[in-house]
Structure 1
Amino acid sequence: MNKQNRQAVLTDIIKFILAKGLVHYNEIEDYVHKSRKTVAKYLDEIEEEIAKSNINVKLIRRRNHGIYFNGDISQLMARYDVRRRELDRDSRLIDILHFLLTSNKQMTLIEVSEMLFISQSTLEKDLDYLRRNFGVQLSSNNQGIILDLSEDEIRKLLSAITKKSINSELNYDEMSSKFSLNFDVPDTLRAYINTDTLNLVQKALADFIQFDNPKINEYEYEALLVHISIAIQRIRDGDFIGENIVERELHPNTVHLVKILEKYFDIHIPKSEKQYLNLHILAIEGEEIDIDNDVIDSKIISLLEKSLVNYDITLISNLAVHLRSVVKRAAQGISITNPYALEIKTQFLESFDLARDLMKTLSYELPLIINDDEISYVAMHFQSFKERIRKELNNKVSILLICSTGYGTAVFLSQRLKELFGDRINIAKTISVEELSRKNIKADLIISTIPIKSKRENILQISPLIKENELEILKRLIGNIQDKKEKMHNRNAFMKLINKNSIFIGHSRLNKEQAIKLIASKLCSEGYVSSEMECAALKREALASTKLDNVAIPHGDIKYVNHPVIGVLVNQNGIIWDKTEVKVVFFIALNKEIDSSMDDIYSYFYDMISDQKRIEELGKLEKIIDIYNFLGGEVK
């Protein structure tokens, strides 16, 4: 990386820390797509850069707490043109209560204000407001303040604050004495739905869940969040479902949810949209949805089970609920609009292809309207299924214990870890410090009950009882290790399809037809595909362009694939693709041999092609071995 690019990364990290206030290593790693070791070097450089400036600010890296700037931060924010988002009072009150409830020691007002990144005067006003309006009692002395509340008083306080606060998505867990959000927003939603809309829908659903207490699980919540977010945009555009949909009595929860949504978004929800929303509520409540009769339901489920190769109960039930309304609307000639169809089609290519193939198969047995809008709705169910399965991958973290306080302590700690993390971890064995220094010990994580000075980055010291703050660190570490294992697994699955004899270098300017013919003919000569693949790929390209940003991904029919492979063409001179230019082409030639690893392959592939800088760097390479090594580069 040249000096200019490196400085840009350092600036981005500084702005990131300033904007968020307090961050952790894994957040910066995800933000800049670099390893922890590289991030640590960046932070060293930032620390030196800040020290050389005339600004009275220091970069603080506190173990078990986080990374933040301390001092006259306003000057630093002005220099980098960063404005931290100001929380409204209700949100600040929740933050203050959460902080004081989870703090196990007295802290001064200055310490609390610095931790929460608010001024001391604002903190004092907020604490006074909590005293006057909610009866919050604080004990104080020369060492600082601490909440003086019983468990019952905490529950009453939470009930009062969440009923009054806009941000009522918080629950209180009596067992752990912690606040928690009901549900997380799926990452894929943020890729194409307006963030403000998502946040407002979440707040509306928080009100709905708090007062109506529906029997909703994580996946039903996700489906409802997707539907409402897209429906809001449809209604705003005046392009909602036709008014001639059959009306049924609305569930009381549907009626209340409609009122909440109309209040939050200042819109009128038409009857047809209410009916479609009602289908989701009825499914959540477990009530029968009588479209015509039960025969349709059983037929849809039977067809889905026959048509799908990989699925779970949630995917089948979610698709069945959705397809009920699709069948009914098709019978009435009503087509629904999805304002995010293009984004879904381009960003979730494999899920869109799966949805299109499924809809085509089902159309032989069911009345369906098949277009990009309808297909993109079904595609989201496939995308959610893929994410769900990835989260459930059993990538165990191998752990070694170093315990010098006796065998009994080691057994106790091992048992405690197994209770907390179950199948996510594998306790390899317990060793002594001497063994660690003498032998080439390999493990994902080494946990020690005694202080150890080592160059190893995977050693964590904890107490045998595992304190609460240590548990949070463990959860984060194990999660990060599992994420990296998953990424490595996905990379390996992808690289099995890349061979040095399926990588080609272009030496003259080409158009897309020439590029497709070049790759297809070479793959044919290597025995990967049959001669018909070239014609099939050109026909596929004529239906719809396969160009995505600065890369193209042509593909043909799987029946012409002899052995699954991904062909790669890099041409520095450029390839004219639909009046624009690309320098990298991936020719996808896959078949059912790799069905079991398809999600892993596409996960790695999508991450790579969505990184425009990475594709630009790939387009500059001139040697096959360099391209091969670049594609299978280090997993960050």
Structure 2
Amino acid sequence: MLTNRQYEILDKVIKAKSFVSIAELANEFERSERTIQYDIEYIEFMKESLHLQIQRSKSNGIKIDCEDLSAIQQMNKATFPEVHFTKSERHLQILLHLFEAKAPVNSRMLSALVNVSRRTIVDDLKDVTEWLQEQMLTLQYVKNKGFVINGDEVSYRKAYGLITQEYVKSTNELVRKTLFEDEDMQWMRQIVLNTLEDKQYPLFQIAIDGLVIHLLIAIQRVKKHFTIEPPVEALTALMETDAFQIAQAIQVEVERHYDIDFPTSETMFIALHLLGAKKLKVGNDHVGTEELKILIHQFMERMSASLGIDLIKDTKLLNNLYLHLAPALNRLTYRFVQQNPIKQDIYAQYMEITEVITDNIWIFEELYHVDFTDDEIAYLTLHVASAIERLTQHKGRKIKIVLLCGSGIGTSQLLKERLRKIYPEFDILDAYSLYQIDESKLKQRYVDYVITTVPIELEAIKCVEVTPFLDEKDREKLNHIINKERERIAHHLTRKGLQLKQVMKPEYMATIQQKMSRNEAITEVMRPLEQAGMINAQFKKEIINKLDEFGAYMVISPHIALLHGSTEHALNGVGMTLFYFEQGVYFDHERFDPVKLMIGLATDEPQKHLTALKELSDILLDDTLRGQLLHGDLTGLKNKLTCS
């Protein structure tokens, strides 16, 4: 996906049919040369999918030829990936919706709520019914209307309280500790839901969650007297919108419940959040919506490369960032700063993340002509930290599987019921027929295995063939999967904040004199970690596939690449390698090629490596040490690791 400016640059250079200088492009598009260089770098990332031939010249600039313009013409719209929920997350969302709905809820509504098929909803409702029965409640179907929860008031309130507690646990840990009690979250949800329903202003669940957290933070701002006068021009424009009227209605309820006075600035913040949430639902009602979504994708690619964590596949993070940035950019345009009451706590706990965001936030600043304050950086840090926490949780939950059957629904239902009874360790996400299977969508849902009754092989996800009746041989295969997972948990490192010297051992560093291709070099860099049992063979394949798909984004600075895969194929602990390639390795990165220094990173838990990565980043920022490494002298690094 390219931004509008990147399209215009591409169009201009193609039509020129000759070299165009960076200075000329910077002057025409009124952007810095750094921004234009970044735009061109991203166009280079997309050159294969867009069928481009690109030539670079230090003195003349850039020349682009394209034999087939159809690929460029088709790539005209950003599409945010849909949010995918695990089975337990679906149950939580379904129960919350049922408890908080004022009318019966049908399966079509629930299917749209959690983005799965109605057949999957039927299975989910069985589990929901069992849970409600344990709470002395029932799930009743009202003919032609939908489902409602029935039971005495005491049981109803107790069960709703339990579900709300689970919902609270899904929020960021630092937010939970510093901002609210469980009862605050429950009250705030009710205020928001009742107001939105009364005013007929529907929002996605993810937008409602964001608004609830926003209001809890706002209360802390008011209590600490962090208030300012809003710009008259912006306030006047907002007061004409439905969102401002709804914000005022929410303000009244919050003031009544918490006995505080909300200033006009906070009402304005709520209205901006509501407007941003509405644009997420109706993607084409605003000129800048798609542009912002594309920039968020590109921003997260850079964040993923710098942190060594694959954040780009966290659909909740992408959507939450849009919900935050849409109103934030509007506020910053008017220099309307939203102070963060827990800024110091955020900077102390997530120092590495704040530094990486600060290094990359210019992507938004230069396009929108705004300056992100420390307070705004802290808000963005919370979103990224929450995503990392979710990735950590993914590693400890049930084994995620989907079923693939070639002989119809009856076979899949039989297999599903047998698996549910025998193997509670499995989280059965869905069932597919052979023609429905799509590996890319399975990856987005973090599927571990495909349990299939027909022969099939996928590129990255292991397929286990069984019979619908699960005979002894089938059970041996499935028992092996479960035992393997238990072993992983038994050997799982619980220690946080590992130092660089703990993960980059002397035997993980080497100099390579012979010439190698990119893929050969990646294999060599990852070999020590594979031999140590930290990664499986799929890890390096995943790196290669991502570089083929997204371009050379893992090349983080001149002649340096940080290679990393997802935690999915990391088996045990954290490891980092460092290899110097005397003859250089070419990644098709025309600014930073050839790569001389390649760092390999593997971690079985997203947060473990951040301290070590921060130490490595400091070393690479040291001109002397970086110069030594780029000339093949590893002595200074080894001495530093020994002494630290």
Shorter-chain TM-score range: 0.3 to 0.5
User: Quick one: higher RCO (CA 8 Å, sep 6+), 1 or 2?
Assistant: 2
TM-score (norm 1): 0.42
TM-score (norm 2): 0.41
